[in-house]
Amino acid sequence: MKHFYDLSSYFTARIAALEGKTNEQSKEIDRLRTFLFEVTDPECPDMYKDVVRKEIVKEELIID
């Protein structure tokens, strides 16, 4: 019976980790979607577009 609880604990921890990762990715999608709407606004200043571009490139370098 001990193996069952170990396996059950493993799967419970794995589900929690996957839920956390999914939540993290959903937040990132929302943030990038916000950037997209802001940058495509005709009244968006070029300086802000540069800031967004640098923010996204900086994060891509960290991920790689």
Q: Comparing 4 with 24, which gets the higher pLDDT?
A: 24
Tell me which residue of 26, 27, 23 sits closest to 15, measured CA to CA. 23
Residue that the structure tokens 């900086």 belong to: 58
Question: Which residues have CB under 8 Å from 32's CB, separation 6+?
Answer: 56
State the average pLDDT over residues 13-38. 93
Instruction: Give the tokens for residue 15.
Output: 């589900």
Instruction: Give the tokens for residue 43.
Output: 């009244």
Whether 64 shows a pLDDT value over 60: the answer reads no
pLDDT at 63: 64
Question: Which residues have CB under 8 Å from 27's CB, separation 6+?
Answer: none
